[in-house]
Amino acid sequence: MKFDISKFIKPWAMEIEPYIPGKTMKGYIKLASNENNYGPSQRVIEALQKGIEEVNIYPYRDEELRGKVADYCKVDRENVILGNGSDELMDLIFKIFKGPILGVNPSFSGYKIFTLALGEKYLEINLKEDFGFPLDEFIEKSKEANILILCSPNNPTGGVISEEDIKAVLDQGKITVVDEAYYEFYGKSFVPLISEYPNLIVLRTFAKAFALAGLRIGYAISNSGIINALYKVKPPFNVNSLALVSAIAALDSKDYMKTTVERIKIDREILFRELSKKFKAFRSEANFILMDVSPIKATEFFENLLKKGIIVRAFGKFSGFIGEYVRISVGTSEENRKLIEALEDI
């Protein structure tokens, strides 16, 4: 049978370039997806083992976790919604609120994918040449959008947005999403602004500092009006029971996470100094460092490290920017040492 998929597919979906995840290969050091390579706490491992006994029943501990997340973020439970990764919450936000959606370039590629999948328009303005936040241009462009999405610390640049700039953006009165996936590595949050700004949604995840990327769990913090709206489009049982018990255990053993984060922050500075000796590295408040490796091509740099058993993320060119970009996650101290050694003859 001859079958032409293009007759059936929604026309706007044709434009989507699917998300390309960081490579994972057994036995290799993976520094490509900004995971926490120390892994989760022992308490999480034990909770997972115990959680297996209940996989025959639907997840039921979401309210308990909402309460723990609320305590962690110093908000009320009604200010919290859980998602199957913070990815899912982006999707829900773009589903319930009208577009267009405005973001910056370069930033997390998921924003554009989720927007286009819903047939909405994605607008974008470039960061400044040094990857700083271009407040005036962003505010000007925000007049054409209904949802504004920003990331601080920003993936892949590692830069942050000041509170003054965020307030100026919030003052435009649009739905404003601030993705704080890397909050724990930075330490400053815009969550306290939710009481002042009813249009603010902060996204967080358990995938990075808490080392639960494989379980897919994130959350959004906002005023109860927005949270209730998001509940209208939330699939039932969107977060699985093993993710719930793990996140509960992770919040019950926060000190472990904090210890690994402190180590990663110290190593980030060591790595920054080492990388800066050879390449143009950008200061980062997250658990990764962006570098311009030109005149070497990003793909060549990637292949060279791959031969030495290390996987990094090669972006190549960012549209509108000069350079060949590679992002390297900060691994364990041992992995970082191996990386520095491997870079010696590159």
Ligand X SMILES: Cc1ncc(COP(=O)(O)O)c(C=O)c1O
Quick one: 218 or 331, whose CB is closer to ligand X? 218
Rounded Cα distance, 107 and 109, in Å: 6
Quick one: 109 or 294, whose CB is closer to ligand X? 109
**Given candidates 205, 246, 329, 336, which one binds ligand X under the rule CB under 6 A?**
205
Instruction: Report if residue 34 touches ligand X, rule: CB under 6 A.
Output: yes
Rounded Cα distance, 116 and 203, in Å: 20
Instruction: Report if residue 159 touches ligand X, rule: CB under 6 A.
Output: no
Quick one: 19 or 58, whose CB is closer to ligand X? 19
With contact defined as beta carbons under 8 Å apart, do 291 and 328 qualify?
yes
Rounded Cα distance, 180 and 105, in Å: 17
Q: What residues numbered 225-284 form the site for ligand X, per CB under 6 A?
A: none
**Of 49-57, 79-87, 292-300, 327-335, which segment contacts ligand X by CB under 6 A?**
79-87
User: At its nearest, how many Å lie between ligand X and the CB of residue 315?
Assistant: 13
User: At its nearest, how many Å lie between ligand X and the CB of residue 277?
Assistant: 27
Q: What residues numbered 98-137 form the site for ligand X, per CB under 6 A?
A: 108
Q: What is the CA radius of gyration of the chain?
A: 20
Instruction: Report if residue 311 touches ligand X, rule: CB under 6 A.
Output: no
Rounded Cα distance, 53 and 40, in Å: 20
Q: Which amino acid is at 334?
A: E
**Of 83-91, 137-145, 194-202, 252-260, which segment contacts ligand X by CB under 6 A?**
83-91
**Of 81-89, 184-192, 315-323, 336-344, which segment contacts ligand X by CB under 6 A?**
81-89
User: At its nearest, how many Å lie between ligand X and the CB of residue 37?
Assistant: 14
Give the CB-nearest residue to ligand X. Answer: 85
Instruction: Report if residue 181 touches ligand X, rule: CB under 6 A.
Output: yes
**Given candidates 51, 103, 159, 218, which one binds ligand X under the rule CB under 6 A?**
218
With contact defined as beta carbons under 8 Å apart, do 142 and 174 qualify?
yes
Instruction: Report if residue 151 touches ligand X, rule: CB under 6 A.
Output: yes
Rounded Cα distance, 186 and 195, in Å: 22
Rounded Cα distance, 95 and 115, in Å: 9
**Given candidates 125, 168, 213, 340, which one binds ligand X under the rule CB under 6 A?**
213
Q: Which residues bind ligand X (CB under 6 A)?
A: 34, 85-87, 108, 151, 155, 179, 181, 205, 207, 213, 218
